[in-house]
Amino acid sequence: MPHHDIVIIGTGSGNSLVTPELEGLDIAIIEEGRFGGTCLNVGCIPTKMFVVPADRVAEAADAARLGVTFAEPTIDWPAIRDRVFGRIDPIADGGEAYRRSQDFVTVYDQHARFVGERTLRLADGTEVSGDLVVVAAGSRARALPDVPGLERIDPERGLHTSDTIMRLEALPPRMLVLGGGFVACEFVHVFASFGVAVTQVQRSDVLLTGEERVVSEAVTAMARRRSDLRTSTRPRLAERVGDVWRVTVEDGDGQTEVLEAEVVLLAVGRAPNGDRLDAEQAGIELDAEGLVVVDSEQRTTAPRTWALGDVCSPWQLKHVANHEARVVAHNLAVALGKLDAPPQHSDHRFVPHAVFSYPQVASFGPTAVQLEAADVPFVTTTQSYGDVAYGWALEDQEGFLTVHASPDGQILAAHCVGMMASTVIQPLIQAASFGQHAHEVARGQYWIHPALAEVVENALLGLRVSAPDGTTGS
């Protein structure tokens, strides 16, 4: 049985664990799919490369309010698609080739399951073990097992997930998107911008249900203007008739309707892959959601075994996986005696996320409802894009930033919808992470006038919190 110093399962952020401190050890990497994991191949990177041209189309359509109009856009789908994967696929291939070229790394390109503590059996029957093991096996797109006809993903028959939808041979006339989370909303933006007649079905009354309620309501209202959105609606039955899917849906009043489309996109979330590893055979505990249980050092319940990324994280975000990978890499080096240092702990206090819909959504920290439920005292303010000078230039009447802070001025959360929301909230993430007082952030530096960042400055000044000297003001 091959035995290694370290066995790493997964090559998303897991691939970055081979740091200079660990080079020269006997390292095994197990990857049954493409190198690079979800983000590189089917997630963050390709989706945003599709979002950018979609943004240009949407911006051109919106330019009429600025006195500028354009002709209808011409969408060259093969050129867009091939530009994306012409860049991404070589990166994945090159990453695998590089690891295979390293004489201290062994790559196993098969599925593996645990058969004992720190011992795995590959699909071909080979057993592999390690002194240390890292589970970075990621997640997978969900199907809808409770809906007849949608139990099994079938791209050959036009039933896709985010893993396959971006490699379509041609744009379909119609698309049905099932789901209302960030994956669904981003793809609705992309394909609606490219001229596909998109119908989106969401079981809740609003999109992006995890966001601040006012953000969810604003995004839902905007989405209704760009595509056919059905909220409080559930799929009940689906069948493929010729080249068309016929999906029966039921609304909140119990009324049913049959929706037709050539392509159906299942965007109903991702499941962690811990259940595909027979983790219990290794003493690795999974929680009720199927996530590998880890502590703050990313250690699992099994000895000398760590986990990181989507397989153990409720956030399912690349920047979280990267952070956890840095922690695990350090802790592996400590465990092996390569570093004389204490273990590191993951910092999940202020985890931000963004939705690259049109317009963007971004946030970190709890919502007002969550703060109230936890009985946390807070003050809040909302700053409209349209009330700062650059917002005037944009003629933006919809974008806004909401900030929650403690009464003594510590930033607790920010929730934003509008142009470049993912960039707008970054100063607030920094301020919260370093414990900076809201008014000191607003007044302790210059803010470029008339840049969009004045939305942040004005929001901070609008918070009625005690000043650093103990006085109260706004």
Residue with tokens 């012409």: 86
Secondary structure (3-state) at 35: coil
Active-site residue, selected from the candidate residues 160, 323, 439, 449:
449
Residue 234: beta bridge partners? 250
Secondary structure (3-state) at 425: coil
Instruction: Tell me how far the alpha carbon of residue 14 is from its chain's centroid.
Output: 17
Instruction: Please answer whether residues 371 and 433 qualify as being in contact, where contact means their C-beta atoms are separated by less than 8 angstroms.
Output: no
- φ/ψ bin of 366: left (φ > 0), alpha (ψ from -120 to 50), beta (otherwise): beta
**Nearest alpha carbon to residue 293 among 304, 277, 278, 307:** 307
Task: Say whether 348 is catalytic.
Answer: no
Secondary structure (3-state) at 343: coil
**Nearest alpha carbon to residue 230 among 159, 165, 180, 174:** 180
Instruction: Please answer whether residues 166 and 47 qualify as being in contact, where contact means their C-beta atoms are separated by less than 8 angstroms.
Output: yes
* Residue 241 host element (H or E): strand 233-241
What are the phi and psi torsion angles at 35 (to 5°)?
-60, 145
Cβ neighbors of 137 (< 8 A, separation 6 or more) are 9, 10, 273, 274, 276, 277, 311
The total of other beta-carbon atoms located within 10 Å of residue 33's CB is 18
Residue 450 tokens, joined: 């008339």
CB pairs under 8 A, 24+ apart, for 68-73? 73/195
**Nearest alpha carbon to residue 297 among 137, 429, 134:** 134
Residue 264 tokens, joined: 């159906």
Cβ neighbors of 131 (< 8 A, separation 6 or more) are 3, 4, 5, 6, 118, 304, 336
What are the phi and psi torsion angles at 318 (to 5°)?
-65, -40
Q: Which residues are annotated as catalytic? A: 449
